[in-house]
């Protein structure tokens, strides 16, 4: 049984146990249990497994001593004791099921994040663009650099950093910059790739300093048409001869 079905199974058990609890509990304890259940769900979702389990054990012990105190102070009859014991048992089971289901929920979320990162690494291009992913850029640039070295050619690596832009507009600026960069270099010859989420790198092979200046001028000129010229000043551009 994979984690998804385990999670679904425990959620069903959770619903069943809650229904049973309300059948054995009075209105006030039921309201109290609902509040504890909501708080527990938040704690189990946001904390580590160890801390969540410690919280569960603490709640179990406190509630057990509380019911013992009520039984002694109010002088419950055997019938009342039986009902409260069943209600308490179901409430503890409900919390435990919530703890387990939260554990599998976090595990599935972690696995999904890992798979997403692995899938992103395997992608050749950034979604909706012709910009190479970092992995693909590094793979192709290694081949190009080896060829340039054999032919005794030189080139340039341009790095454009977008970190000075607000996070809310970085993606929009990236798409504009990607389009401009692709239109400013030689198709099927130079490379344009994304590094992390706020950096674009351009590899110009067999290019002189004049060729570098020409590409940079094209990029800045075309970016001025896309965004305000003052915003262009936020671009951090570095060049390295290779």
The first and second tokens of residue 119, run together, are 């899938």
Q: Taking residues 219-232, what's their average pLDDT?
A: 83
Of the candidate ranges 10-24, 39-53, 147-161, 173-187, the one whose mean pLDDT is the lowest? 10-24
Domain 134-241, CATH homologous superfamily name and number:
Reverse transcriptase/Diguanylate cyclase domain (3.30.70.270)
The first and second tokens of residue 166, run together, are 């607000």
**pLDDT exceeds 60 at position 4:** no
Query: Contact, 236 vs 163, CB < 8 A?
Result: yes
pLDDT value at residue 7: 58
Q: Select the more confidently predicted residue: 116 or 86.
A: 86
Per-residue pLDDT reduced to its tens digit, 37-63: 778 888 887 888 899 899 999 999 998
Query: Contact, 101 vs 3, CB < 8 A?
Result: no
Q: Select the more confidently predicted residue: 163 or 106.
A: 163
pLDDT value at residue 239: 93
Q: Taking residues 204-225, what's their average pLDDT?
A: 91
pLDDT value at residue 9: 66
Distance (Å, whole) CA 91 – CA 36: 10
- Report the percent of the chain where pLDDT is more than 70: 82
Q: In whole numbers, what is the pLDDT of the chain averaged over residues?
A: 82
Distance (Å, whole) CA 150 – CA 167: 42
Listed by start position, the domains of the chain span 3-121, 134-241
Distance (Å, whole) CA 155 – CA 176: 25
**pLDDT exceeds 90 at position 71:** no
Per-residue pLDDT reduced to its tens digit, 182-211: 999 988 889 999 887 789 999 999 999 999
């Amino acid at each position: 049984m994979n984690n998804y079905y385990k999670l679904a199974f425990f959620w069903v058990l959770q619903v069943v146990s809650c229904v049973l609890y309300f059948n054995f509990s009075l209105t006030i304890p039921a309201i109290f249990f609902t509040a504890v259940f909501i708080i527990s769900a938040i704690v189990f979702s946001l904390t580590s497994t160890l801390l969540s389990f410690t919280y569960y054990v603490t709640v179990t012990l406190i509630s057990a001593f509380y019911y013992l105190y009520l039984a002694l102070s109010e002088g419950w009859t055997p019938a009342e004791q039986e009902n409260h014991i069943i209600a308490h048992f179901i409430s503890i089971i409900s919390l435990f099921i919530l703890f387990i289901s939260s554990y599998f929920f976090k595990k599935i979320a972690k696995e999904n994040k890992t798979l997403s990162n692995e899938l992103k690494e395997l992608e050749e291009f950034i979604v909706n663009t012709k910009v190479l992913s970092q992995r693909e850029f590094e793979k192709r640039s290694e081949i190009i650099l080896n060829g340039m070295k054999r032919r005794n050619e030189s080139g340039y690596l341009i790095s454009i950093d977008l970190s000075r832009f607000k996070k809310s507009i970085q993606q929009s600026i990236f798409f504009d910059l990607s389009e401009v960069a692709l239109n400013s270099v030689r198709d099927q010859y130079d490379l344009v790739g994304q590094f992390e989420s706020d950096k674009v790198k351009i590899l110009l092979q067999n290019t002189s300093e004049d060729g570098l200046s020409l590409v940079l001028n094209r990029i800045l000129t075309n970016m001025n048409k896309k965004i305000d010229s003052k915003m262009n000043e936020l671009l951090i551009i570095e060049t390295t001869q290779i």
